[in-house]
Structure 1
Amino acid sequence: MPLLQFSQATGLAVSAYDIKGVRQIGPLLSTRTARFLGTSKLWQEDGPGTAVERLIVGAMAAGQDDAGAEVEELFYGMRICSLPLTRAGERYGVLVFGWCMRDFSSPLACEQLAALVGVPGHTLWNEVRLESPLTDARLATYRELLRTLAGSLDRQRDTIDELNRVSRTRELFLATVSHEMRTPLSALSMRVDLLLHTMRDMPPALQASLMAMRVHVRQEAAMVEDLIDAARTLTGTMSVNRVPVSLGRIVRDALSTVESSANEKRIVFSVTPANHGDNIELDADPRRLQQVLWNLVLNAIKFTSPGGSVGLNIASDANGVRIRVHDSGQGIAPEDLPHVFGAFTLQSQANASGLGLGLYIARRIVELHGGTITASSAGKDLGTSFTIYLPTLHAAMPPILPV
């Protein structure tokens, strides 16, 4: 820690107090004399050194810049100094440092100091006489060094506080706006569906417009749901409701929503094994895992050219199951791979859409299940592969090598 390094470099004893006079750090002791005094009652809770340091803290809290010089005479020439710690312009603590002799001490002064702190005078003298006194010039240099160090620490805390404030504001914004957007979109979707199902002899142009509107509303609703999930992830409130469930059920439910997209692009879609993992039991949230697989497969279809291929392969071992979604699509550049699971990460290709939150949310859902998700790609136009590994209740299916 920086204060310990300062103490070791200068030989000064250093303590950090909060503004109420409670020692938070120290005393940090580096010289033989300081370590010897550390065995005395000097810095004990009811010791004279602690009492003086708290007196200094009280003076600093009241606005004084350095009260150490006023109490040095109480310790027979030991220099005791202080610096305020500030945050946003307010003092929140004090550094008390020094505890070195102003001049070469005498046996008499050491006897008096030893009696005050409860140690043998001759032993203290043997330690003190081997150390150089703390001159005014050295003290001024050390004070400026510590002032710079303290200022750097204060700026770091100010920066962290500001980042935390911005982060909390962002999370609150995401949560509030997402919920406020969800209600009107749901109402609009219901009205469009009602019109499509109840209006007879609707003009073709109107019907086409309503169907297009329904598609756009559903896309917007999906984005809002992603924002809500992202907000829950950021605030640590996302949860999963885990129950015993067949992997096959999850896979089939996920694929049923994307098969039409694959057919429209004439994409060859395959699942290995043919039973979709029916005999693999997971302790999982079916809806959340379906959301993950749906997102991976839909992305694979989206970024694969017409006539390409997308596959889903399942392989199990003694502890878990590996689900691999791979495609022959546009691939991911090596420099982009480390960032694919970040929030608001969008592919740069022309067919990218959405908010770039799907993989960010998918990783969190997989982690909440005790699993992992990874991405790999050989490069541009060489396809992409996403692999999920999840613990299983029963890994009954024999291992299958990934295709």
Structure 2
Amino acid sequence: MIKVDLPDKAPVDWDDWSTPLRQFTEATGLVTAAYDTAGVRRFGPATGSRMAALLAERSSLWAEDGAGTLHERALVRTVCAQGRPASAPFGDVLRVCAQPLLLRGEVYGVLVFGWRFSDFSSPLACERIATQIGLPGHLLWNEARLDAPVSEQRMATYTALLGTLSSTLDRQRETIDDLTRVNRTRELFLATVSHEMRTPLSALSMRIELLLRTMPDLPPAAVSGLESMRVHVRQEAGMVDDLIDAARTLTGQMSITRAPVVLGQVLRDAISTVETHAHAKQIQMQVTPVDYGDQLRFEADGRRLQQVFWNLLFNAVKFTPAGGVVRINLRQLQGMIEIDIADSGQGIEADDLPHVFGAFRLQQHDNATGLGLGLYIARRIVELHEGSLSASSAGRGKGATFTIRLPAATA
């Protein structure tokens, strides 16, 4: 059983709140700030009126140990403890409210907003507040008398608006957090699969080879059984590799390493891996030109290209009946190298042609095996080389042709 430890939640990016909260502040004229659950102010205070700007620039209200900061932190503690909105007036006249920020039902921060008079102010009330924050009373009164109060009904509207805004952003953050968790889990899973599944398969394959090579007196039935096991182990190892490559393709993690290659050598190496199977079915493999493309040299990932050729050749042999032919034609046209791999096999129905390169697409005839990922991975590898891979067929029983087109950039 493969065990994968899930990663922790993604950290909060408080910069994401900067733009929407500033827009809210400008639209409403309120003062807004964002706190984390430890009472640290992560954003603000953002001011939206002349009076708020005066308080921010000329008083100690929102200093680190200012009366306004202490008032906001007390609201943050209340909201964190209760998990719901709270409000408390400052100096009995300035309305201040707070709302929780929730991720999967848990509070991870608090929005504090308001700092507006709930009714028309008076010189006495302004003098009392100004004394607390080290501001001349007449300066505060000059701005307060021009600042329209925010009624309880209008504050309720602003509160609902901010609630909708925060819940929308929090849902987006939940989605991003889910995607991050999925991506990290996928990476851990791939690393685990690569180690936990490849290692025992490699060990089993080595032991089978040792038995076949070092014990010549084994009974024929035992030799046949070991050879069958060797085939199955190789199939399992191939499916594990296909799963890993497919996952890397889906996540954009598959890459190629370009180096000078000779097409003929890459093609010969691929053909050598399927020759035994072709000979067993008496299938002819014809290559044109006869030099296998030794004159074609370009920049590519030779190992990955060999994987493409091997996959196409293996399919061609697998779906071609005994005594058939597989033809490989090479040519260079208009700065592109084209490789056709054509077989005389079962062919592809017209309705199936658009889907042959899809993931987990299995042929339904001739006892097809595997996961149906080979062509999907092959096309992606060719595309990483800035080329293309296409398929054509005249129909059922009339064979199929796969065409690879690669840029012929000179090494």
Q: CA deviation at 1:208?
A: 3.0
For 1:16, the aligned partner's letter is: A
TM-aligned CA distance change 1:185 to 1:139, over 3 Å: same
Q: 2:264, 2:109 → 1: CA distance?
A: 60
Residue 218 of structure 1 pairs with residue 234 of structure 2 = yes
Alignment of 1:223-372 (within 5 A): 223-229=239-245, 242-261=258-277, 275-302=291-318, 307=324, 311=328, 313=330, 315=332, 321-324=336-339, 327=342, 329-330=347-348, 333=351, 337=355, 340=357, 342=359, 345-347=360-362, 349-350=364-365, 351-359=367-375, 361-362=377-378, 365=381, 371=386
1:16 to 6, 17, 34: 34
Residue 157 of structure 1 pairs with residue 173 of structure 2 = yes
Q: 2:283, 2:58 → 1: CA distance?
A: 76
- Percent identity reads 47
Q: Deviations over 1:12-38 (max 9, x none)?
A: 554434334555556677xxxx26568
Residue 48 of structure 1 pairs with residue 62 of structure 2 = yes
TM-aligned CA distance change 1:55 to 1:224, over 3 Å: same
Structure 1 match to 2:89: 70
| Number of aligned positions between the proteins | 378
Q: 1:70, 1:324 → 2: CA distance?
A: 78
Structure 2 match to 1:392: 409
Q: 1:299, 1:94 → 2: CA distance?
A: 60
- For the aligned residue pairs, the C-alpha RMSD in angstroms reads 5.0
Residue 94 of structure 1 pairs with residue 110 of structure 2 = yes
For 1:185, the aligned partner's letter is: L
Structure 2 match to 1:401: none
TM-aligned CA distance change 1:3 to 1:286, over 3 Å: same
Q: 2:106, 2:276 → 1: CA distance?
A: 62
Any conservation in 2 of the 1:17–1:93 contact (CA below 8 Å)?
Answer: yes
Q: CA deviation at 1:181?
A: 3.0
TM-score by length of 2: 0.66
Q: 2:244, 2:147 → 1: CA distance?
A: 66
Structure 2 match to 1:192: 208
Task: Structure 1 unaligned segments of length 5 or more: list them.
Answer: 395-403
Q: 2:50, 2:353 → 1: CA distance?
A: 56
Q: CA deviation at 1:2?
A: 6.2
Q: Deviations over 1:254-307 (max 9, x none)?
A: 222234545666767565655444344344442233123322433455456775
Q: 1:235, 1:141 → 2: CA distance?
A: 43
Alignment of 1:20-39 (within 5 A): 20=38, 24=42, 34=48
Q: Deviations over 1:140-197 (max 9, x none)?
A: 2432343344344434434543454354344434432442333333333233334434
For 2:225, the aligned partner's letter is: S
Any conservation in 2 of the 1:304–1:330 contact (CA below 8 Å)?
Answer: no
Any conservation in 2 of the 1:57–1:94 contact (CA below 8 Å)?
Answer: no
Q: 2:91, 2:395 → 1: CA distance?
A: 72
TM-aligned CA distance change 1:147 to 1:332, over 3 Å: farther
Q: Deviations over 1:74-110 (max 9, x none)?
A: xxx5543221113344422222334555345679989
1:80 to 78, 82, 96: 96
Bigger shift: residues 235-244 or 91-100: 235-244
Q: Deviations over 1:232-252 (max 9, x none)?
A: 668887665543322332222
For 1:91, the aligned partner's letter is: V
Q: CA deviation at 1:210?
A: 2.9
For 2:362, the aligned partner's letter is: Q
TM-aligned CA distance change 1:121 to 1:57, over 3 Å: closer
TM-aligned CA distance change 1:199 to 1:391, over 3 Å: same
TM-aligned CA distance change 1:253 to 1:309, over 3 Å: closer
For 2:89, the aligned partner's letter is: E
Q: 1:138, 1:6 → 2: CA distance?
A: 14
For 1:48, the aligned partner's letter is: W
Task: Find the residue that maps to 2:90 and give its secondary structure.
Answer: helix
Bigger shift: residues 376-385 or 84-93: 376-385
Q: Deviations over 1:335-376 (max 9, x none)?
A: 964x9465xx23252444223443555466557x66355556
For 2:56, the aligned partner's letter is: L
Q: 1:189, 1:205 → 2: CA distance?
A: 19
Q: 1:55, 1:234 → 2: CA distance?
A: 50
TM-score by length of 1: 0.68
Q: 2:297, 2:146 → 1: CA distance?
A: 71
Q: 1:332, 1:39 → 2: CA distance?
A: 71
